[in-house]
Structures are given as C-alpha cells and as structure tokens.
Amino acid sequence: MVNHFFKKKKKYILLTDITKLCNFDAKFFLKNQKIYNVGNLREAKSNEITFFDNLNYEKDAISCKAFACITNERFAKFLNKEVMPIISKKPLLDFYKVVKIFYPDSSVDNENIVSFKISKKFSKKNISIGSNCLIDQTVQIGSNTKIGNNVFIKPKVSIGRNCIIGSNVIIENSFLGDNVIIKSGTLIGQTGFGFYIENNKRIKFPHIGRVIIENGVIIGSLCTIDRGSLTDTIIGEFSSIDNQVQVAHNVKIGHHCMIASQVGIAGSTIIGNKVQIGGQAGISGHLKIGNNVKIGGKSGVVKDIEDNQTVMGYPATNIKSFLKNNK
Amino acid sequence: MVNHFFKKKKKYILLTDITKLCNFDAKFFLKNQKIYNVGNLREAKSNEITFFDNLNYEKDAISCKAFACITNERFAKFLNKEVMPIISKKPLLDFYKVVKIFYPDSSVDNENIVSFKISKKFSKKNISIGSNCLIDQTVQIGSNTKIGNNVFIKPKVSIGRNCIIGSNVIIENSFLGDNVIIKSGTLIGQTGFGFYIENNKRIKFPHIGRVIIENGVIIGSLCTIDRGSLTDTIIGEFSSIDNQVQVAHNVKIGHHCMIASQVGIAGSTIIGNKVQIGGQAGISGHLKIGNNVKIGGKSGVVKDIEDNQTVMGYPATNIKSFLKNNK
Amino acid sequence: MVNHFFKKKKKYILLTDITKLCNFDAKFFLKNQKIYNVGNLREAKSNEITFFDNLNYEKDAISCKAFACITNERFAKFLNKEVMPIISKKPLLDFYKVVKIFYPDSSVDNENIVSFKISKKFSKKNISIGSNCLIDQTVQIGSNTKIGNNVFIKPKVSIGRNCIIGSNVIIENSFLGDNVIIKSGTLIGQTGFGFYIENNKRIKFPHIGRVIIENGVIIGSLCTIDRGSLTDTIIGEFSSIDNQVQVAHNVKIGHHCMIASQVGIAGSTIIGNKVQIGGQAGISGHLKIGNNVKIGGKSGVVKDIEDNQTVMGYPATNIKSFLKNNK
C-alpha cells in the first residue's frame, strides 16, 4: 500500500512489537524480524503486514504474499501457508493500530491547513486560477484546467487536463483524471466517519486511502467524497454525480453511473458500471450493487443487488413488487 | 427567449442547417430562410424556432407564433398551421443542439470564474459588502442590501433592495427581488443535472434558463438552486426554504410556500401556492403539485397532487390512508 | 435567560405594556411594575417574564420564580401562585413579541457581517489560523487550536483548547468546548427555520438561544447546526456527527451519540445519551428519544422512543416488526 500522501513515520516495526500489540503469543518468531509497511491482502509485499477478517476475500488470502497477516482463529486456515498468521480477537482494530504506528497523521483532519507553500508554477500551461486560492506547490495540474475562487488544494494532489474546479472546493489526498468537473462547494478527500471504541474511548480510524476520480467524472455542488480508510474511494470514468451527494470512505463506483441529488452511499459499498441511482436514495455500507442496476428515487438499499435489476422502496425490492404493494 | 446572461454566438442559423441536423428532408423550404433565436412554445417569435414534444402543451402549440417547430410525427398535427413543422425522432435533443449553436456557453460550468471585473460602484446606496467578495461590475444591487464575506456574484445578476446575502454564497444567472434572504453557503443559478447520450457520449443539456427569486423569499444555508434549462427556475414571493434543500432545474415554486430542511425537488416540477413540505421529503420530476398542498416529512411524491390535499408516505398517499396503513 | 450574544435594547418593559400586547385585561396590576428580562419557565428570575403553554413543563410551572408568566386560560391553574398569570390566546407568539422588544436583533440573519474587528491576539498560545479568516476580537480561542482557511467567527464566540476547525466554517452565537473537531464547510449558530403568521405576514421567531458544543464533539462537513430560539441547541460530549447533517433550533443531543450522514433532526427534539442514528434518518420535531436508542438508516421517527429501543422504518417502529413486515 504505497501512499505518497503520508510520510511513513517509522522505517519498520519489529514483528514482536506487533504480536504484543495483538496479545498473540508467538513463541516461534524470529525475534528481530522487521515489518516495513502495511498493505491490503492482495497487494502487501513480502516484508509487509496485512489483515484478513472477511471470507469474501478468501481468494486473496490464499494468494497473499505478505510476511504476516493479522487474522482470527477461524480464518487462519484459509491463509497462504507461507504467510505467518497472527491471531487476534479484533484483527481489523489491531491492524489499524499498526497502520497508526506507521502513519500517525492518517486519522487527523486538516493536519496541514496552514503549512501550504503556495505555488506560482501554474502561469504556463493555460491554467486559470481564481482569487484567494491556496494550492500547494507539490500539487500537479494539467493544461487547460480552470479553477474557481477560494479553492484549497492540499499537498501532492494531482489534477488532470481540461478540468473545471468550481469555487470553495477543497481537495486533499486525491488523484483526478482529465476532463473532470467538480462543482462549487464540494469537498474531496477528507477522512471518513469511522471509529472504534477501546477502553471506553472513541478512536478514529486511520485513513491512508485516497480518492481516485477517473477521466470525465462530473461531481455536483456541496458533495462530500471521503477518502478511503485502508483502500481507495474510487469514482469510475464518465460517472456523473448531482448536488449534495455523500460518498463515504472506501466506496467504489463504476464507470458511466448516474447518481442524482442527495444520494448517500455508506462506507465500503461497491457500485457496478452504468448504475442509475434516483434522488435521495440511500445505500447501506459493505454492499455490492451489480452492473446496469437502476435504483428508484428515495430507495433504501440494504442488501446486495445483482446485475440488471431495477429496485425501489425501503427496504428496496424489485420494482414490480414495489409497485404491486403500492397500488 | 431573451436571455441577457449569454451572448448569442451566431446572429442566425439557416433553416436548412437545422433541418439537416434533424435528419428532416425539407424539400419545400426557402433555401435561405434565417432563424434568429430559440424560444419556448409559448413565447417564440416569428423569426425563431421552438420545439413541441409533450401534449401537456397542446394549447401552446395551437397558438404558437414561431417560424418553425421541431416536433415528432404524431404531434405535428396539433401545431398552428402557420408554423413550419420539422419532424424529428428526438425533438428535444435536436432542439438542444440548436440552442447550443446559438449559446455554446450555456452548458458550461463556471465558465467565467476569473474574468470578473470587480465593481467599486456600491459604495453609495447604503450597500454593505464583506471581505473577499468578487462582484462583477455588471451586477445590479439595490439599496440597503447587505452581503457577507467571500461572496461571488457573476456578471449581470440583479439583486433587489433590503436583501441579506450570507457568506460563501455564489450567485449566477439569477434575478433576486427585494427583501430576499439567502443564507450562507448557498449556491444559486448553476447548471442543472441533465444529460443526453448520443453515440455513447454523455452530453450536457444547455442551460439558458435563469433563477428568478421573487420578493421576500428566504433561502436557508447550503442549498442548491439550479438554473433552468430552457425555462426559468422560479421561487415565488414570500416562500421560505430551510437548509440543505435541492431545487433542480426548471422547478417553479409558488408564493408563500414553506419548505423544510433537506427537501429535494427534481427537475421541471411545478409547486403551487401556499404549499408546505416537511423535512427530507422528495418530489419527483415533471410533477404538478396543487395549491395549499401539505406534504409530510420524508414523503416520496411520485405523482401529481390536486389542490388542498394532505399527503404522506413513500410513495406519498392521502394522509388518512397513510395513517390507517401504519397504525 | 442571560445571553451575552445580544445587547438588551430596553432596560425594562412596563408590565402594562406586556398585558396590552397580550390583549389581557389586567385591572389589578401595579401600573408601574417593571419587567427586566425574559427567561424560560425554569430559570426566569423574580423581575423577569416567562411563558407556559405545554403541560410537559408542569413541574417547572409549579416551581416557577418569574414575576409574570404568559399562559392560557386552561394552564394558568398549574402555575406557582406567586407568579402573576397573563392570559393570552397565543402565549408563545406573545412571548416572542416581548423577546423581540428586548432583543430586536435576535431574528436577524448575519446582522453583523462586516462589523468584525479582526483579532490579532492569537499569535501566542500555539493557535494556528489559516488565510482569509475573519475572527472578531471578542472571540475566545483556547491553546493549541487549529483553524483552517476562510473561517468566520463572529463576536463573543468561545472555542476551547485543542480544537480543529476546518475551512469555510462559520460560527456565531456558540460555545465550543475542548477537543472539538468541526470539519470544513459547516455552519454553526445561525437562526433556525421558525415563523409565525400574523395579519397574513410571515414573522421570524427570535433566536436568543445559543449552540453549546461540549468537549470532544466531532461534527462533519457541510452540516448546519442552528442556534436555539428560546433555549440552547446542545450537542453533548464525545458525540460524533457525520457530513451533511441538519440539527435544527433547540435540539439537544446527549453524550456519546453517533449520527451518520444526511440525518435531519427537527426543532426542539431531545436525544438521549449513546444514541446511534443511521444515515438519512429523519426525526420530527418536539420528540424525546431515550438513551441507548438505535435508529436504523433512513428511518422516519414521528413519535417518542423509550430507552434502549431499536427502531427502523417510516414511520419508525420496533426493528422486529419492521423486519417481519418486510421479509
């Protein structure tokens, strides 16, 4: 999990420190084994650590390449035998703790508000930038992009060519492709709403994920697109989002989707391609919505939807049942 | 359809170019007939073109004064015989194309962000303007109006007397009457969420309509009031709108309405006078809501409502049925 | 009801002027009795006036210490016999009128937009403040607090230590504790959406209440937290609120609550401690939600909920009934 938005604050963590943190009695470990980073189950490298606590990812567990994996007693048997299992009662929370040791800034909001080094490099390339903007000098902006007034773009963000960014927009920890339109007042790349409780204290999830906005995406006004916690939040190419939409952390939206105003999509839900979502619909977290699905306005979706279905209602059901029940 | 917010980019279009665009074989036309503008069915003048694709407007078709009208094979017979019908398979989309030839900027967002010529003419008339505002010199502001901080008012907007405009507000393509209150963070007059697909490409509707906000209107914080596509978005006098409300393109709201927080009204819906709408209610597009209607909080309105009805539910029904079904 | 956010514009009002305003024929009064302020039923002092129009507050009526109380014919008998009843047909509206005589600014939006005297006193105490902020010199800010860009903080607001205030935030008439996080674009302390109609004119409620945000509260982006009308809006300690949430005037939220995105809470509702509210849920006004209640996403709550209940649906019912009805 390479993420150039955060500086790794430790070069490595000793594996024994991780096992202690997990309350795992690892008698057989090499005492001095070093772990150099965190990664997700699919991408973690052989000197990194990952976690596994959801059988939806069984395939990734089998082919995992990490050095060690924080998991629970039941799931350890699905792991690639070459990966060292670290048994924990709360694999995700313990993994979060490791993430925070490497990236302590990743759960902090607005940590670098006033440390911008304002860029003056955009005078070429036919880029236009409005008044009172704060754009860090590490930001990349493609040619012919127009930026409104009072826009804040935080370090290392990248914005493609021919984009239009409205006024009062804030972008952080994000990559935007070409021909992207972000309308005024929208906020992209902030930390999401995720907490765990430990010893009666509310502790914020780390958010080392990013927001990836692909080519040709349109996002309306006053939207909030949170960045991912451990994976990225992604909006696929040529998808269109109307005003006042909430896209929570880790959500992945496919290409050519149409999402109307005031929709809310809860954390980690995956939306297919060419999905149409009517105004004010809400989609619960951790769901999978198939390709070409149509979701009626104001629907409340609480379970997975297969490809090509049309649903409506709260809870959302097949449109025919909904209409029959509401004649 | 006079709209001083956009410069007409062509003085005229040859009628033959329009018929080609519509794939209409118009053998009988005067080869050099010129069309000078677009207009709606009711208002288009004798050297302008309009469109007709919805029988709700049959009366306007009969009395239409345009030179030509893009329509379909079934509806052509309802047109005033003096108007030349141009038969199209997609009258609206072909009309949009004509609009875009005259007004290519009308589907572009934020096209003139940095071209403001800041006005200094408001020092008289007891107008107060906060810090960091960008107000174009073509903007009209009435006496005793107060404007907050970081407000952007784009060219040719007109604001009446005794208005209060909060901070972080953006206004474009709009006329505001007297005694209007717009609270902070609200966006007025942007393009709406309308697209058509052609050759697998998403093409944005033109938006040559405006936002008309009549005397005494109150609009809460963080609302989005989109400007009209081919007609205006209108909010009638003394109507009150709470925070986080979405009013889509072409919506017309009558006078003395009360609209609570987080309501969404989809495109082209017409709301009568003295209508009360509870919080989080949603109203589908292209509906007609009568006078004195009361819509319960969180209702989902999917069909027309007659005068004086009280409805609730999703889909919204008469309040008595709703209460009976939910005892 | 001491409120240092508003200057009292009259030192006192003669009781006879109040009785005239209420159309109450008070033959027996001391002609020159002076009333020095308004207060709520529980807190009003012996030279102040209050009102009583809701039997939920019967206990407060019995122990009331005010000099006089505007009430109606039916309720007057519940009042402490030492308090002078003033009988009105519309106690609340008449009380509002008295409030407006003392505090005429309390129903005006953004009344002091451009009268800020910008503070320069925050260079010590390790406070960081971004660009283009307007912070009145009467504002109190605790040590180690970070404030983003383009933030407006109006006179007499108090913010605690170790807070993080995002960009484009506006705060007025509010007290914030320590360790509070307010994310970008959120508006705190504006007047709420309350009107009464008199002689066919819409008249705005006074809003002399404040917003009290206790220690450790987190509020997401693009939220609106309105200040109270006659009491305060309160968010209890360690409660967490996600993006795009609306909290109306007089709402009181307990401690350790979790409120997901796009929730709306209507005026004067009281939420207990450790309440969890799912995304897009709406709660009607003037309700009482008990402690440890869980409200499912998109629910529409229209009646009180007792402690420890889990509800879902529209109208919200016990989760078991909801699931049974929606199998």
What's CA B156's distance to the chain center, in Å? 17
Strands C246-247 and C224-225: parallel
pLDDT tens, residue by residue, B224-245: 999 999 899 999 999 999 999 9
Reported pTM: 0.94
pLDDT given at position C199: 84
pLDDT given at position B85: 94
Upstream peptide bond of B104 is cis (omega within 30 degrees of 0) = no
Rounded to an integer, the average pLDDT of B70-80 is 96
Chains contacting A (3+ CB pairs below 8 angstroms): B, C
Instruction: Kindly state the helix (H) or strand (E) to which residue C17 belongs, with its residue range.
Output: helix C15-21
pLDDT given at position A2: 55
Chain C residues with beta carbon closer than 8 angstroms to that of B219: none
pLDDT given at position A45: 94
Question: Matching CATH topology for A13-102 and A121-325?
Answer: no
Question: CA–CA separation, A223 vs A246, rounded Å?
Answer: 6
C245 in Cβ contact with C264 (< 8 Å): yes
Cβ of residue C300 closer than 8 Å to a chain B Cβ? yes
Q: What is the SS3 string spanning chain A? A: CCCCCCCCCCCCEEHHHHHHHCCCCCCCCCCCCEECEECCCCCCCCCEEEEECCHHHHHHHHCCCCCEEEECCCCHHHCCCCCEEEECCCHHHHHHHHHHHHCHHHHCCCCCCCCCCECCHHHCCCCEECCCCEEECCCEECCCCEECCCCEECCCCEECCCCEECCCCEECCEEECCCCEECCCCEECCCCCCEEEECCEEEECCCCCCEEECCCCEECCCCEECCCCCCCEEECCCCEECCCCEECCCCEECCCCEECCCCEECCCCEECCCCEECCCCEECCCCEECCCCEECCCCEECCCECCCCEEEECCEEEHHHHHHHCC
A276 in Cβ contact with A290 (< 8 Å): no
* Cβ contact C152–B167 (<8 Å): yes
B167 in Cβ contact with B154 (< 8 Å): no
* For A299, nearest residue in chain C (alpha carbons): C298
* Cβ contact A220–B222 (<8 Å): no
Quote the tokens at residue B298: 């969180």
Cβ of residue B315 closer than 8 Å to a chain A Cβ? yes
Cβ of residue A215 closer than 8 Å to a chain C Cβ? no
Which residues 129-158 in chain B show a CB within 8 A of chain C?
A: 129-132, 146-150
| Domain boundaries, given as residue ranges, for chain C | 13-102, 121-325
Chain C residues with beta carbon closer than 8 angstroms to that of A262: 262
CB within 8 A of C324, min separation 6: which ones? none
Most C CBs within 10 Å, among A224, A251, A259, to test the C interface: A224
Strands C13-14 and C34-35: antiparallel
Cβ of residue C185 closer than 8 Å to a chain A Cβ? yes
Rounded to an integer, the average pLDDT of A42-51 is 94
> CA-based angle A26:A30:A36, to the nearest 5?
100
Question: CA–CA separation, C86 vs A160, rounded Å?
Answer: 68
Of C132, B13, B245, B132, the residue nearest A222 (C-alpha): B245
Q: Where are the alpha helices (DSSP H) in chain B?
A: 15-21, 58-62, 91-102, 319-325
pLDDT tens, residue by residue, C151-195: 999 989 999 999 999 999 999 999 999 999 999 999 999 999 999
Cβ of residue A182 closer than 8 Å to a chain B Cβ? no
Cross-sheet strand order for the sheet of C282-283: C134-135, C152-153, C170-171, C187-188, C224-225, C246-247, C264-265, C282-283, C300-301
* Cβ contact A244–B244 (<8 Å): yes
Cβ of residue A167 closer than 8 Å to a chain B Cβ? yes
Of B325, A307, A300, the residue nearest A317 (C-alpha): A300
CB within 8 A of C28, min separation 6: which ones? none
SS3 C239: coil
Counting every residue written for chain B, the total comes to 327
- Residue A114: which pLDDT band, with cuts at 50, 70 and 90? low
Cβ of residue C76 closer than 8 Å to a chain B Cβ? no
The minimal CB distance from A110 to the residues C146, C220, C313 is found for C146
pLDDT given at position A257: 98
Gap from B172 CA to chain A (nearest CA, Å): 12
pLDDT given at position B116: 59
C316 in Cβ contact with C278 (< 8 Å): no
- Residue C106: which pLDDT band, with cuts at 50, 70 and 90? confident
Question: Would the pLDDT of C64 be above 60?
Answer: yes
Question: Would the pLDDT of C112 be above 60?
Answer: no
Task: Tell the residue number behind the tokens 């057989």, with chain if given.
Answer: A28
Lowest-confidence region among A96-110, B44-58, C18-32: C18-32
The minimal CB distance from C240 to the residues A108, A134, A202 is found for A202
SS3 B175: strand
Cβ of residue C206 closer than 8 Å to a chain A Cβ? no
Quote the tokens at residue B225: 């009031």
Chain C residues with beta carbon closer than 8 angstroms to that of A150: 132, 150, 168
Architecture of the domain spanning A121-325: 3 Solenoid (2.160)
* Cβ contact A164–B202 (<8 Å): no
Is domain C13-102 classified as CATH 3.30.565.10? no
Backbone torsions φ then ψ of B172, nearest 5 degrees: -145, 155
C295 in Cβ contact with C277 (< 8 Å): yes
In this predicted model, which residue has the larger pLDDT, A30 or A12?
A: A12
B321 in Cβ contact with B306 (< 8 Å): no
* Cβ contact C282–B262 (<8 Å): yes
Q: Is C207 a catalytic residue?
A: no
Question: CA–CA separation, B236 vs B219, rounded Å?
Answer: 12
Counting every residue written for chain A, the total comes to 327
Chain A residues with beta carbon closer than 8 angstroms to that of C221: 187, 190, 224
The minimal CB distance from C246 to the residues B183, B244, B298 is found for B244
Question: CA–CA separation, A156 vs A119, rounded Å?
Answer: 12
Chain A residues with beta carbon closer than 8 angstroms to that of C297: 266, 282, 284, 300, 302
Question: CA–CA separation, A295 vs A103, rounded Å?
Answer: 38
Q: With a cut of 0.90, is the ipTM above it?
A: yes
Cβ of residue C202 closer than 8 Å to a chain B Cβ? yes
pLDDT given at position C2: 55
pLDDT given at position A122: 74
